[in-house]
Structure 1
Amino acid sequence: MHPYVELAKKAVEEYVKNRRILVCPKDAVPDMQKKAGVFVSLKKHGQLRGCIGTFMPSEENICKEIIKNAIAAATEDPRFYPIQEDELNDIIYSVDVLSEPERIKDISELDPKVYGIIVTKGYKKGLLLPDLEGVNSVREQLMITKIKAGIDPSDEDVEIFKFTVERFK
């Protein structure tokens, strides 16, 4: 298991069982000291069970970003009830570390298998990670992301940013 995934798992288990927030391990891999946006996804029996993240870093390093977002994915995703202790053995974790978002000039720059996207209009903002099952075209990716942001899917007057992820399972 990759150290990022192991950290996410330990953070969720410690919080769900003991209501304690894990501290970054002193022997954390050097990459965990970098800053980046991070998404933590939790699945149970192949179905999404929680996914929370940050597209820009909100913590001082990836280690703290993983811990914060893992706990939030397990307990604060508004689409799901909080994960219970009896579910922990069934949870599969993945951690996505995001590149810095880059504004696009034309949708021809997008590929839903390679790039995640952020769509913004005013204060509304939606994000969709890349390479998601069932998202096979740029049109689908844009529609889903606009809906997540509360933006009319037919609205063309939006800002679009792309990013890549390093996915760890």
Structure 2
Amino acid sequence: MSENAPHPLIELARQSIISKIQGTEFVVPPNLDSEFETPSGVFVTLKKAGRLRGCIGSLTPKTGTLAREVAHNARLAAFKDPRFDSVSREELDQLSIQIEVVTPPVPVENPGELDPAVDGLVVKCGKKQGVLLPGLEGVNTVDQQIAICREKANIGKNEPVRYSTFRVRHIT
């Protein structure tokens, strides 16, 4: 990989989005690095002019391999994030793509010991679940993380919850 070439997973995400816009089938290339063949949860974030344009992810793999998970979640972020309209052909060159490869979530008894800069958070109540990636701008405390997760999952302030944490490897 040359210094200016995009990371192979970033290129994979971009090609997956392009193929959807063009109406063609996307097939994950067979000659990828073996690390991309292992199962892993992954989040794909799209930004336009530094602002969020879409983000979809999975804490646990749904498609079998990291490469397939990236391609799948890239399409979901571009076309199925309910907060945004679908990405248009005209926007493609303006999009930046970020990928966060997720470690398996582990239960945590005392979320107050977590560091929002490096620890992602899962807040769960029954079937409702809120997830927040680590290192988000403006989220500086665990209490902020918990409040955002509760709001995302529509979990009331006094409802009992379980916490899990995870870490990510950033790819840009």
TM range (shorter): over 0.9
Is residue 46–residue 95 contact of structure 2 (8 Å, CA) maintained in 1? yes
- Gap regions ≥5 residues in structure 2: 1-5
Partner residue in 1 for 2:3: none
Q: Distance in 1 between matches of 2:132 and 2:149?
A: 6
Q: Distance in 1 between matches of 2:98 and 2:87?
A: 16
Matched, 1:32 2:36: yes
Q: Distance in 2 between matches of 1:4 and 1:115?
A: 23
Partner residue in 2 for 1:11: 16
Partner residue in 1 for 2:171: 168
Q: Distance in 2 between matches of 1:120 and 1:131?
A: 20
Segments ≥4 residues shifted beyond 2 Å: none
Matched, 1:113 2:117: yes
Matched, 1:83 2:84: no
Partner residue in 2 for 1:159: 162
- Gap regions ≥5 residues in structure 1: none
Q: Alignment RMSD, CA only?
A: 1.0
- Per the TM alignment, residue 155 of structure 1 is displaced from its structure 2 partner at its CA by 2.6
Q: 2:97 aligns with which of 77, 93, 100?
A: 93
Is residue 125–residue 159 contact of structure 2 (8 Å, CA) maintained in 1? no
Partner residue in 1 for 2:45: 41
Matched, 1:54 2:58: yes
Q: Which piece of structure 1 moves more, 104-113 or 114-123?
A: 104-113
Q: Deviations along 1:124-144, whole A, 9 cap, x unmatched? A: 011000101111111111100
Amino acid at match of 1:118: V
- Per the TM alignment, residue 102 of structure 1 is displaced from its structure 2 partner at its CA by 0.3
Q: How many percent identity over aligned positions?
A: 38
